[in-house]
Structure 1
Amino acid sequence: MKKEPIGKLISYIHRSSQKILAKRLAPHGIGSGGQYSFLKAVLHSPGINQDQLTHKLKFDKATTARSIKQLEQSGYISRTPDPNDRRSQLVYPTIKAKQFAPVLQSILDDFNQRLVLHLNKEEEELLLGLLHKIGRSIESDDEPQG
């Protein structure tokens, strides 16, 4: 049996996951590009700035700016100038975001359950451990450039 490239499988799972999540989140005004990741981060760390979000979520600055702008237009976040750095803006969840948080978590929990539907608990734990190992092996190359 021919061995399939791990990167190809991870890429396929990622693309498929993003399509499914985009379809489930679209009725709530949350688009693709990982917007839900930004919303979760802002809900978890109110007052975080865009540079911190970029670093924390490992997206590029353009994706962060685009996602934050779209979430703001959808009424999920608000931005205020950082009193310590006028060039920076602090990002806060709105009441709409706080009310939506349990729905978002439910969508993500349901999706994660779907991902491991055909695994037993031991296989799920093993998979998590292996994925963390793979993640650590590429972290040094994953640092933002420039």
Structure 2
Amino acid sequence: MSETNIAFFSGRLVDCANRFIASELVRRGVEGIVPSHGDILCALFEEDGLAVSEIARRTHRTKSTICVLASKLEGNGYVERRPDPADRRAVGLWLTEKARGLKPVFEAISSDLADRITQSLSPEEAIVLGNLLARVVRNWKD
């Protein structure tokens, strides 16, 4: 390991965050959703009816990954596939009422996660950490 252990601690943070999200979903009675579904749902909360390719672009995942995750969400009643009214060949993913009703739960979990991550940091340190991580991620421009 290098002196800074940045990759190690970044990976640990992701693992801890995913476990936190999964346990909060269970604690709040949300079934059939795991942390990997979060990016898709957040993209659709911002703009419902997106194509798989657009969700993949926005979430920095492959189309095949989004298709697998979307199929699971569809099977659990959280999204549905509908033809694009402007182009019948294209299909968009749409949130169901069941999913829309979970938006406040996801927002609360996200807020709690942010609090947990930054609990030992000053507000200034949290901002610096966020800026540094964003700069590091930009090293891998897609």
Structure 2 distance, partners of 1:124, 1:30, is 32
Runs of 4+ off more than 2 Å? 30-33, 82-88
Question: Cα offset for 1:82?
Answer: 2.5
Distance change in 2, residues 1:4/1:30 (3 Å): farther
Paired residue type of 2:17: S
Question: Cα offset for 1:17?
Answer: 1.2
Q: Which deviations, in whole Å up to 9, do the C-alpha atoms of 1:38-94 show, x marking residues without a partner?
A: 111111111111000011001122221111111112222111022454553101111
Structure 1 distance, partners of 2:43, 2:80, is 14
Matched, 1:46 2:51: no
- Deviating more after overlay: 104-113 vs 20-29: 20-29
Structure 1 distance, partners of 2:74, 2:3, is 45
Q: Is the 8 A contact 2:21 2:35 kept in 1?
A: no
Q: Which deviations, in whole Å up to 9, do the C-alpha atoms of 1:99-128 show, x marking residues without a partner?
A: 110111101111111000000111011111
Which residue of structure 1 lines up, in the alignment, with residue 24 of structure 2?
Answer: 24
State the SS of the aligned residue for 2:92.
strand
**Unaligned 5+ residue runs, structure 2?**
none
Which residue of structure 2 lines up, in the alignment, with residue 76 of structure 1?
Answer: 78
Which residue of structure 2 lines up, in the alignment, with residue 120 of structure 1?
Answer: 122
Structure 1 distance, partners of 2:21, 2:139, is 27
Structure 2 distance, partners of 1:128, 1:93, is 30
Paired residue type of 1:130: L
Which residue of structure 1 lines up, in the alignment, with residue 57 of structure 2?
Answer: 55
Q: Is the 8 A contact 1:77 1:92 kept in 2?
A: yes
Matched, 1:15 2:2: no
RMSD: 1.7
Structure 2 distance, partners of 1:72, 1:98, is 14
Identity %: 24
Structure 1 distance, partners of 2:23, 2:16, is 11
Distance change in 2, residues 1:87/1:5 (3 Å): farther
Q: Is the 8 A contact 1:43 1:92 kept in 2?
A: no
Structure 2 distance, partners of 1:108, 1:30, is 18
Paired residue type of 1:69: S
